[in-house]
Structure 1
Amino acid sequence: MTITVRPVDESSFADVQAVFGDRGQAARCQCQGYRLNWYAQRSDDVEGRREMLRDQVAEGLGLIAHLDGEPVGWCAMAPRTDYAYLRQTTWKGRSEDRSDDSIWAVTCFVTRPGYRRQGVSTALAAATPGHARDRGARAVEAYPMRPAPGKEVTWGELHVGALSAFLAAGYRIVHEPSLRRAVVRYEW
């Protein structure tokens, strides 16, 4: 079985929705959690969030993974300035310019049920630097979880990815806001 990863475009939206499914947190959030304020994130306007995602997919803001032609994974990424909520939650102890739109952010991974633990998010993480660079970024960062040794982390918490996947892709740790979270960056 071969995992292929490519940037999304207008024709990819149906594949992204196949990965999200029609129930659960991914279907409800539509990868808008870090773009919206707290109240908008929790509203019942799923269709509004889906339309926002449709526009982002059409703009090429993300990656889609296929396993033998079947859509199995999604990765949200865009200029860091697109994520208002993100810039509030990961900034403690950082002095960097929050408004620098040449830094891209990887915020979310979704792997379709039945395809988890097969390397989908690792393949997506490995493709993020090239995609950001091709879109004009000077660096890309992510905010993965660092699971404690021997501890299981639920899928919901790992929507940001695992630290090991980013380190394997060549990212380096630039900030550690908590014991369980790291900020990693890839620069060229």
Structure 2
Amino acid sequence: MAPTPLVTSDGFTVLPATHARFDDVRTMVGPKNPTSSVCWCLSHRIPAKLNRELAGPERAAYVEALTRKRTKPGVLAYDGDEVVGWAAVAPRADLPFARSTKIPHVDDQAAWSVWCLRVRPGHRGRGISHVLLEGAVAYARERGAPVVEGYPVDNRGAKVDLTMAYVGTRKLFEDAGFTLASPTDATSAGFPRVIMRRSP
């Protein structure tokens, strides 16, 4: 039986990043060179020391283990059977953001964080990031999140360098029904980052 999508919109579907979809996670966040010690969307998921220690294939193994857990490490967007997007979503308490000195806690609610949105080259400009964000919120809601937050740049319409665009923009989050909750002391690509929040 086919899994029920978290979101279906504009011909795209969003599904949790389960172990059965690990190859699609690899497509979205794994480096081209499997021995490379970069990405796998780990830099904001695990402590900096562990992020530095995990090398090459160890990074893949770490993320594969995450896909086997009850709470999955994120969601994937599909155009038919082809994976076209990734969004990382998890309880903030489980992330380095819980101890961040630059991104404050708004209140004592057990917030979930959406901190990385990635669309495959060749598929950008089709609204996939909007569908991904909606899917991430839907997954957090399904897992009992009382509130979902993101930490996008407040770029006021200015162009954001693609390598740093993964954090999203304030407008993207506003379009998804998030509202400004707090400024931060963090920046990305030279722009200030803000906390955007939404009740799922």
Interval of TM-score (by shorter of Structure 1 and Structure 2) = 0.7 to 0.9
- 1:11 correspondence with 2:20: yes
Write the deviation string for residues 20-39 of structure 1: whole angstroms up to 9, x where unpaired.
35338x98221111123334
Matched, 1:74 2:95: no
Report the CA distance between 1:183 and its aligned residue.
Answer: 0.5
The one-letter amino acid of 1:136's match is: G
What is the distance in 2 between the residues matched to 1:79 and 1:52? Answer: 18
Are 1:120 and 2:131 matched, yes or no? no
Alignment of 1:29-178 (within 5 A): 29-43=39-53, 45-59=55-69, 60-85=72-97, 87-92=99-104, 94=105, 96-97=107-108, 102-149=110-157, 151-177=158-184
CA drift of 1:44 comes to 6.1
Q: How many residues align?
A: 182
Tell me the TM-score normalized by structure 2.
0.79
Tell me what 2:6 maps to: none
The structure with the largest strand share of the pair is: 2
Q: Secondary structure at the match of 1:29?
A: coil
Shift of the alpha carbon at 1:89? 4.7
CA contact (8 A) 2:88 2:136 kept: no
Of 14, 20, 38, the match for 1:28:
38
User: Residue 139 of structure 1: CA displacement?
Assistant: 1.0
| Larger helix percent | 1
**RMSD (Å) for aligned C-alpha atoms:** 2.5
Shift of 1:43: 4.7
For 1:18, give the aligned amino acid.
T
Percent identity of the aligned residues? 29
- How far does residue 41 in structure 1 lie from its aligned partner after superposition? 3.1
Q: Which 5+ residue runs of structure 1 have no aligned equivalent?
A: none
- How far, CA to CA, are the matches of 1:61 and 1:19 in structure 2? 13
Q: How far apart, CA to CA, are the structure 1 residues paired with 2:197 and 2:76?
A: 21
Q: Secondary structure at the match of 1:15?
A: helix
1:145 Cα shift? 1.5
Q: Is the 8 A contact 1:166 1:184 kept in 2?
A: yes
Instruction: Tell me, in whole angstroms, the C-alpha distance in 1 between the residues paired with 2:169 and 2:67.
Output: 23
